[in-house]
Chain A
Amino acid sequence: MSIKLTSEVVRVAGESEILVSIDGERVKVEYDSLASPRSFESLVTGRKYWEVPYVVSRVCGVCSHAHFWASNLAIELALGIKVDEATSTLRDVCNKLQILQNHVIHLGFLVLPDYGYSVGNDKYVSTLLKVNRVVNEALRLLGGRLTNPNVYVPGGFTEDLKQPVIKRVVNLLGSVGNDLRELANIILSIELPELEDPSPEYVSLRNSPSVTVPVEGPYIIDSSKNTYTVYENYREIFVERYLDLSTSKKCLMNGEKVFHTGARARLINYLKGGSGLSSELRYLIARYEPLFKKNPFSNIYAKIIESLLIYENLLQTLSSLDTGKLSRVRPGNSFSGGFGVGVVEAPRGLLIHYYELNPEMRVIKADIITPTVMFSKHIEVSSEALIKGLLASEEGRDESLVKRFVEALVRAYDPCIPCAVHVIKMKR
């Protein structure tokens, strides 16, 4: 049997295409982007250090806080600025709010229709919109704007966040606890297709997502078997490769291993050392952990469980946060040039920003590795495994079924094509 399938994957962020070639027993899957080049690294080159976060936060509307934070972190480390604990906690809170928002919207609008839920269902759509509205308002209060934040810049916050604002955010969040649990019940009742993860390598920042204060370089990254201390050596660990016939980059661990990063990886690694978790959530994570390690589709479960975890964590952090000590540090006059690396957990996984500044504090070199670049190879190998499994069964030889399952798998990963800034349009 020989099949060649090309399918534009809808209901993912951005435009992408999956190419499946089946020739007898051999299955090959290529996941490509249809987005045009965005060249953010060149856009920031030559710019003054404080302009950089404003530019790179526009890489993605869904995870603008992650990009903003990672670039702030890298620039601060390059300039030798150390911000206070309250500042980094608040940045982390903003990032977590966006992770929560991304998970909820992705699951509700992009994933649930795959499993027979109609977006026309008033009940669950109004729940989704309520959570989205609350997070938007909280982000506006803390980060300045809904997307593309403007309040925290390299060195600290541009304005004092008063305690009543924090209290208002806590109250706002308090109003959506039941909605999140309701959504969790819906998601966790979904029956997932069977699939064995062909490359069980999970990479995440240590203790994320519960870590409240960002680690300042070097960063400790856990994988399934190893622990890496990452700073300027990040290029040796996360090797980006150009593939033949494709101009989109694919990232491999140490240049050889296909790996996954994101909610599933975070939860698997979290159980190793994470603390400060309610027994209910710990039980929930422990219960689904074997599934997380086995089935790539379970990223859907991981996302909703992580949302609950983040929700609990946000309430704890914000209730005990003292914003009275927010201070803004400005870079000194004597700067002889240097570089910095910022690593944060974006909604979809690890995000790395690297900037090199000249003595005038202008960027001379920039590099961004986004989560989608990291796990797009994992999408390909999982899809191959899925198709092989389908072909073994009688009904799996139906082309439309193969297409439906592969698309559902891609959606479970939640790739973000505009984020994958290196990816450029390929010519065939």
Chain B
Amino acid sequence: MVKVYVNNNEVEVSQDALVIDAVEKAGYEVPTLCYLKGLFNEATCRICVVKVNGKVVPSCRFPVFEGARIIVDDSELRRLRRVNLELLLATHEIKCWSCVRKGMCELLSLSKRLGVEGIPVCSECPLRGRSCLVLKGFPCLGPLTVAGCDAECPRRGSPCIGCRGYIMSEDVWVRALEEFYKDNVSLNELKSLISFFWSYLPQNLYRLVREVSNVEY
């Protein structure tokens, strides 16, 4: 057995334990994504980072040692976790409107927890699938709006009007406009709804809407 200190609380864990085990034993929780206890601890996502004796390490991979001083949460760790999640989202093909995970999305819950804005309202929408408002012809802004409201409007049959702000990623806009909206809704109406809360879109998104809708915006 070795003695370690998690946020200054002393805990005893077995010699071959990992830092994440010590953290759990001390009663703290560290956010994880790729880690599956006993099955997978390759430290690929780097969301579970903690500080051990001042050094940032992935807690799911790093072994404990006698007298290790572990810090589970501070502003630097939160920033690092956010950056890591943003990097993951940048390479993730976000198409929540046609995703099969039906709300059981770990990326979504992690984004909400860490305050990362990259996942659209569709990820929370129970209408996704056959009852989707966009598929019915309503210009719902769910695919372009930052999630976190639990899809309060689409949930009750009323299209999303984008009050939580737009997703910055150009890829998401391209996919939504070209693969989803184009065949289902009038882009003219969509353009009008976009101007409801987002009158001042960044240049690149502004150009996209103009190119796809083929009308002055």
What residues of chain A have their CB less than 8 Å away from a CB belonging to chain B? 46-48, 51, 54-55, 144-145, 150-151, 153, 158-159
Interface size class of B (residues with CB under 8 A): 10 to 19
A153–B192 Cα distance when bound, in Å, is 18
- Tell me if A144 and B153 are in contact (CB < 8 A): yes
A55 and B196 contacting across the interface, CB-CB below 8 Å: yes
With contacts A150-B153, A159-B156 taken as known, whether A54 is within 8 angstroms of B161 at the C-beta atoms is yes
Residues of B within 8 A of A145 (CB): 152-153
Q: In chain B, residues 187-201, which have Cβ atoms closer than 8 Å to a Cβ of chain A?
A: 189, 192-193, 196
Question: A-side binding surface: helix, strand, loop or mixed?
Answer: loop
Given A46-B192, A54-B196, A151-B156, 15 additional A-B pairs, CB 8 A: A47-B192, A51-B193, A54-B161, A144-B152, A144-B153, A144-B156, A144-B158, A145-B152, A145-B153, A150-B153, A150-B158, A151-B157, A151-B158, A158-B158, A159-B156
Identify the closest chain B residue to A148 (Cβ): B163
* Residue positions of B touching A, CB distance < 8 A: 152-153, 156-158, 161, 189, 192-193, 196
CA distance A48 to B158 in the complex (A): 15
- Distance (Å) between the CB of B138 and the closest chain A CB? 9
In the assembled complex, which residues on chain B have CB atoms less than 8 Å from the CB atom of A159?
156-157
Contacts of A55 in B (CB 8 A): 196
Determine how close the nearest CB of chain A comes to the CB of B112; give it in whole angstroms: 19
B162 to chain A, nearest CB (A): 11
The answer to whether residues A48 and B152 also contact, given A153-B158, A158-B158, A159-B157 and a CB cut-off of 8 A, is no
Out of B153, B161, B192, name the residue touching A48 (CB < 8 Å).
Answer: B192
A56 nearest CB across to chain B (Å) = 12
Complex contact B152–A51 (CB within 8 A): no
Bound complex: CA A190 to CA B159 (Å) = 47
Cβ-defined contact, A158 with B156, below 8 A: yes
- Residues of A contacting B158 with CB < 8 Å? 144, 150-151, 153, 158
Separation in Å of the B134 CB from the closest CB of chain A?
15
Candidate in B152, B156, B192, B193 with the most chain A CB atoms within 10 angstroms:
B156
B157 near A51: Cβ-Cβ < 8 Å: no
Distance in angstroms from A420 CB to nearest chain B CB is 23
